[in-house]
A and B are shown apart, each in its own frame.
Chain A
Amino acid sequence: MTESALTVDNLTVRFGGIVALADVSLTVRAGSRHGILGPNGSGKTTLFNAITGMIMPQSGRVLLAGREITRLAPHARVSLGLARTFQITSLFPSLTARENVVLAALPALRRHRGAWRPAADREVAERADRLLTDLGLSHLADRPVVSLGYGEQRQLEIAVALATNPRVLLLDEPTAGLSAAETRTVVSLIQRLPADLTIVLIEHDLGVVFDLAEHLTVLAHGERIADGPARFVREDPIVKEVYLGG
């Protein structure tokens, strides 16, 4: 059995009377590419929100590399190596791409305090530029985010998440709203990410999911209806009926 980077154990989230997640469990192996599939309203983003601490579950546990993080504040999870991107782009619009990455990198480097030294000293600036170069975004470094195209913003979102130096990266619909060409760019960007980085990805585009994920968990109405290697889940009759449309 390989080491588990992220474990979700019987997680239940209710909003009033509505059950958003019912007893969902899943295990993400370290270094794997794990896809979360499910129709709209099946609880995928709720699952991410509970994993990252944006909402608190009613019951169940979340473990990051074996350590329980169920009740930790969001930023404490970030410093333990958990990063996410958002379905709706969540950047700092008036700042440049580089400044966005620097802001995300500073807490991970324990350099976010201090009012008397430059934020982007040589080490931080070099790190930010290296990250942007690795992702093929260096030409955007000095452009304010508002001036970037939507596809560029989605790529920068991944760069900002990576700047926190995560071991587990959660991507919430990284290609939503992108053109076919932009989708290919983002998919190849995700494929080039370091192999030891664990990636969990919510995605609607089945082509993207089967390109990227080797392991799939399928949700419907807040319940896990299938879980396993991508090629098996794809052939699962229940999945075909609920999600792939029979």
Chain B
Amino acid sequence: MRGRGELIVLLGAAILACAPLLFGVYWTNLLTQAIIFGGAALGLDILVGRTGMPSLGHGAFFGLAGYGVALGVTRWSWNPWLAAAFGILATIAIALAFAPLAVRARGLTFLTVMLAFGQVCWGLATRGGEFTGGENGLPGIRRPSLGLDFWDLDSPDGFYLFTLLVATILTLAIARLAASPVGLSLQGIRDNDRRMLALGYNVAARRVVAFVVAAAAGAVYGALSAFFNGFVGPGSLDWRLSAQLLLSVVIGGAGSLWGPFAAGGALHIVRTYLTGETQRWPMVLGALYVIAVLVLPGGIASIGGVLRRRWRRPRRQAALESAP
């Protein structure tokens, strides 16, 4: 069962790896970002879908790691690898420090606490003066080098494949976590936290684990995004990014992992097209959300089950009618 899940991830990765052969630079770059946002949504699903804690501030971890990378490379002239490690580890440390406080809240309260956390980070970035570049952000982030002649991270194809590699490793790790005792217990906590407590699980500690894992995934993709753009700005800490990630989880199918990945990627592609045409992207996002909740309450991930039932029902009906 588990072996099959891993096989599907690897198969998906293999198919995506062929994309640069088929598409030009524009689509390769677009897919790079789609994987980044899809991966971040998949990480968030551990917290939202599996553990039942909806966060409207997840973009903060994405942005914080980006700023960590940018400060390291541009302000302190570090090697990009070191800056990446710093950005990711510092973000994980911040998540670890904030988690015990945040997980005391549930449901809407948790959602609001996380929104506030995100807004504080956004405020610090915009008011940070020269240090954070204020509204202008920090440009000029050099990409790291693998030191391989055939794999140049400065080329669109090279960076795309690197992003795909990181996303594949992270997805396999998260899938493995999801199937572990800790992963199963997160679902138990979502369904019935008092019963989990009575069974002997440390519910608060498990919530912290879910929180930090989701934050760590967000941080990795935030660092990738900073390298991809060569720039970080307050936009990466904007609450609308958090909303987009949360809606990716809902539209994709909370708890299914692959659904949020697909929805996160697809939403980014749709957004890229729409922002060229109209200023009303948030409205379209809202409409997509309403449609998804009405038509597919279980998200994209439930589409297989819904179709199967649709297909079976008429047949059973026919069987009943033909019976004497």
Q: Please list the residues of chain A having a beta carbon within 8 angstroms of any beta carbon in chain B.
A: 52, 54, 74-76, 78-79, 90-95, 99, 102-104, 106-107, 111-120, 164
B280 lies within 8 A of chain A by Cβ: no
Can you show 17 pairs from A to B with CB atoms below 8 A apart?
A75-B200, A78-B198, A79-B200, A90-B194, A93-B191, A93-B192, A95-B188, A103-B196, A103-B199, A104-B199, A112-B185, A114-B180, A115-B177, A117-B181, A119-B183, A119-B184, A120-B184
Q: Please list the residues of chain B having a beta carbon within 8 angstroms of any beta carbon in chain A.
A: 2, 176-177, 179-185, 187-188, 190-192, 194-201, 209, 255
Contact between chains at B183 and A78 (CB < 8 Å): no
Given A103-B188, A107-B200, the answer on whether A118 and B2 have CB atoms closer than 8 Å is: yes
* Nearest residue, chain A, Cβ from B203: A75
* Nearest residue, chain B, Cβ from A145: B191
> Which single member of B181, B190, B198 contacts A52 (CB below 8 Å)?
B198
Q: Which residues from A are CB-within-8-Å of B187? A: 92, 94-95, 99
Given A95-B187, A116-B176, A118-B2, the answer on whether A75 and B198 have CB atoms closer than 8 Å is: yes
Q: Which residues from B are CB-within-8-Å of A107? A: 199-201
Contact between chains at B192 and A91 (CB < 8 Å): yes
Name the 7 nearest CB pairs between A and B, nearest first.
Answer: A75-B200, A107-B200, A92-B191, A119-B184, A115-B182, A119-B181, A74-B198
Q: A93 CA to B194 CA in the complex, in Å?
A: 14
Contact between chains at A103 and B184 (CB < 8 Å): yes
Q: Which residues from A are CB-within-8-Å of B255? A: 94
Q: A112 CA to B255 CA in the complex, in Å?
A: 20
What is the count of residue pairs linking A and B with beta-carbon distances less than 8 angstroms? 83
Contact between chains at B182 and A118 (CB < 8 Å): no
Query: Least Cβ distance of B208 to chain A in Å?
Result: 13
Query: Least Cβ distance of B77 to chain A in Å?
Result: 37
* Most chain B beta-carbon contacts within 10 A, residue among A78, A102, A104: A104
Contact between chains at A114 and B198 (CB < 8 Å): no
Given A74-B198, A104-B199, A164-B199, the answer on whether A115 and B184 have CB atoms closer than 8 Å is: no
Q: Which residues from A are CB-within-8-Å of B192? A: 90-93
Query: Least Cβ distance of A69 to chain B in Å?
Result: 14
Q: Which residues from B are CB-within-8-Å of A52? A: 198
Query: Least Cβ distance of A95 to chain B in Å?
Result: 6
Known: A92-B191, A119-B185. 20 other contacts (CB 8 A): A52-B198, A74-B198, A75-B198, A78-B198, A91-B195, A94-B190, A95-B184, A103-B184, A106-B184, A107-B201, A112-B185, A114-B182, A115-B183, A115-B209, A116-B177, A116-B180, A118-B179, A119-B184, A120-B184, A164-B199
